Amino acid sequence: KSVPQNGFVGHPKGLFTLFFTEFWERFSYYGMRAILIFFMYYELHEGGLGLDRGLANSIMAIYGSLVYMSGIIGGWIADRILGTRRTIFYGGVFIMFGHFLLALPGGASILFVSMFFIVIGTGLLKPNVSSIVGDMYADTDSRRDAGFSIFYMSINMGSFLAPLIVGTIGQQYNFHLGFGVAGIGMLVGLIIFKLTGKKYLGLAGLQVNNPLLPEERKKVFTRFGILALLIIIAGAIGIKTGVLTVNVFGLIITALGIVIPTLYFIYMYRSEKTTKDEKSRVLAYIPLFLSAVMFWAIQEQGATILATYADSRTRLDIGSFHIPSSWFQSLNPLFVVTMAPLFAMLWMKWGDKQPSTPRKFAYALFFAGLSFLVMMLPAYLSGGTDLVSPLWLVLSFFLVVVGELLLSPVGLSVTTKLAPKAFAAQTMSLWFLTSAAAQAINAQLVKVYEVVSEFTYFGFLGSLAIVFGIIILVLSPIISKAMRGIN
């Protein structure tokens, strides 16, 4: 399974393939999102769809939630039918197709079809490309953690570049051209994956780990078929009768975002394959999961609420060049890329003395909370309507990234360690569910932004995160103990 080489910065050459596949996939995803919000609520004469801004933010959140929720399907398909390699490839094709569809001039219906493709495609690609990273190393290989850090860099380098390119083209020239460029990014990623993967990935991801038995196949396919048919019929009736509006759909996704992880936890806890120690770990994971949901709820609003804030409440010109508001989306990944090495050094230096995982999560919530609390100041000083300095946003993004670096890298690894062995194949999707649940809740929250003052909105959510952080900090010894030897 392992490919013992070091042809890429001291790591297996396969990491090169995965690095650039994920780089370009994230380029397309975050490039699209950087302009999607504006595309939806800008007026028709500005090239937009003229949707209500609250609704546009809500659609962003629903879409973001589904993109990570679908990881469950992608993880399952790879594990039981196609293997990770082929699943990733098909995922990339779906994503590319979704973006190219949006490159065509069209209205809201094309947008929703395109989102459907990207949701399915990302579900197939994202959890699986991350899990092949682990396959590059033997279990005993000490480079494994560093490999994941390099991979995390690729995510953020792609996310950094995308708003600058897709954002500029989309906002200064034409939204559809921007979406097209996002599609080209995914095409480049696919080409790299296909061409270099053959050579560099060896056999990794080609096998199906837990293949469906022939007798299971029929049962599973029939059930899925019936379920899909029911959803399509219900959807068609809902749309025809006008019952299924975007708002109603959003409510369904919010409910799913909460129900799916709940069922997951109950299932893991009650499974007879879960040992006694593992049960304790499942319980310990619940507060960590909830903290991550709170954290992502704030972090993801950087792409919705703060994006609209950048567009309407600040203005930045350098000479005669007007900085497109989408460029603010590069701040988060920029801070991640520049500060991640500092954090890595810090943890190395502190060794055993570094804070426990629950404590890191609590601190992450403090920083997330602060990132919103600081936004109360410009709200207060400007009276909520005058233009404010874009530096407030820079500060807010900086603070949330400090939190992200405390939570995100540890979060993935702690999920792998705390989930029962029998569920190992699904841990990647379980971690992505934290962001899915967060954005499912955001689908409702972001609408509140339109009806309360900025001061109240940022103040309330910022304080909520801090209170949550305090609770986790107080509970941290109990959580650590329940983790039974994992730290």
Q: How far is the CB of 323 from ligand LEU (least distance, A)?
A: 23
Q: How far is the CB of 63 from ligand LEU (least distance, A)?
A: 14
Asked if 313 contacts 325 with a C-beta cutoff of 8 angstroms, the reply is no
- 3-state class of 321 per DSSP? strand
Asked if 415 contacts 263 with a C-beta cutoff of 8 angstroms, the reply is no
Site track for ligand LEU across 71-110, x = CB under 6 A: ----------------------------------------
Q: How far is the CB of 231 from ligand LEU (least distance, A)?
A: 25
Q: How far is the CB of 133 from ligand LEU (least distance, A)?
A: 12
How far lies 418's CA from each of 280, 338, 355, in Å? Answer: 9, 29, 18
Look at the chain and count its residues.
487
Does position 435 bind ligand LEU by CB under 6 A? yes
For the record, the structure tokens of 356 come out as 């426990």
Q: Which is nearer to ligand LEU, 152 or 458 (CB)?
A: 152
Q: How far is the CB of 372 from ligand LEU (least distance, A)?
A: 18
Write the CB contacts of 40 (distance below 8 Å, at least 6 apart in sequence). 48, 49, 51, 55, 56, 59, 60, 111
Q: How far is the CB of 68 from ligand LEU (least distance, A)?
A: 6
Q: How does 2-12 read in b/e, with b if 16+ C-beta sit within 10 Å?
A: bbeeeebeebb
Q: Which is nearer to ligand LEU, 35 or 376 (CB)?
A: 35
Size of the site for ligand LEU (CB under 6 A): 5
Q: How far is the CB of 121 from ligand LEU (least distance, A)?
A: 14
β-bridge mates for residue 318, sequence order: 321
Q: Which is nearer to ligand LEU, 26 or 359 (CB)?
A: 26
What angle do helix axes 276-300 and 391-418 make, rounded to 10 degrees? Answer: 160
H helical segments located in 202-330 = 214-241, 246-270, 276-300, 305-313
Q: Which is nearer to ligand LEU, 55 or 125 (CB)?
A: 125
The DSSP secondary structure of 134-182, one letter per residue, reads HHTS-TT-TTHHHHHHHHHHHHHHHHHHHIIIIIHIIIII-HHHHHHHH
Tell which positions 197-256 bind ligand LEU, by CB under 6 A.
none
Q: Which is nearer to ligand LEU, 254 or 429 (CB)?
A: 429
Q: How far is the CB of 162 from ligand LEU (least distance, A)?
A: 11
Q: Which is nearer to ligand LEU, 337 or 393 (CB)?
A: 337
Q: Which is nearer to ligand LEU, 188 or 212 (CB)?
A: 188
Q: Which is nearer to ligand LEU, 155 or 297 (CB)?
A: 155
Rounded Cα distance, 225 and 120, in Å: 16
How far lies 239's CA from each of 36, 101, 233, 234, 346, in Å? Answer: 23, 22, 10, 9, 54
Q: Which residue is nearest to ligand LEU (CB)?
A: 435
Does position 408 bind ligand LEU by CB under 6 A? yes
Does position 329 bind ligand LEU by CB under 6 A? no
Q: Which is nearer to ligand LEU, 29 or 94 (CB)?
A: 29
Tell which positions 20-59 bind ligand LEU, by CB under 6 A.
26
Q: How far is the CB of 241 from ligand LEU (least distance, A)?
A: 35
Q: Is the dihedral of CA 248, 249, 252, 257 positive or negative?
A: negative
β-bridge mates for residue 11, sequence order: 8
- 3-state class of 98 per DSSP? helix
| Residue corresponding to tokens 């959807």 | 235
Tell which positions 131-160 bind ligand LEU, by CB under 6 A.
155
Residues that bind ligand LEU (CB under 6 A): 26, 155, 408, 432, 435
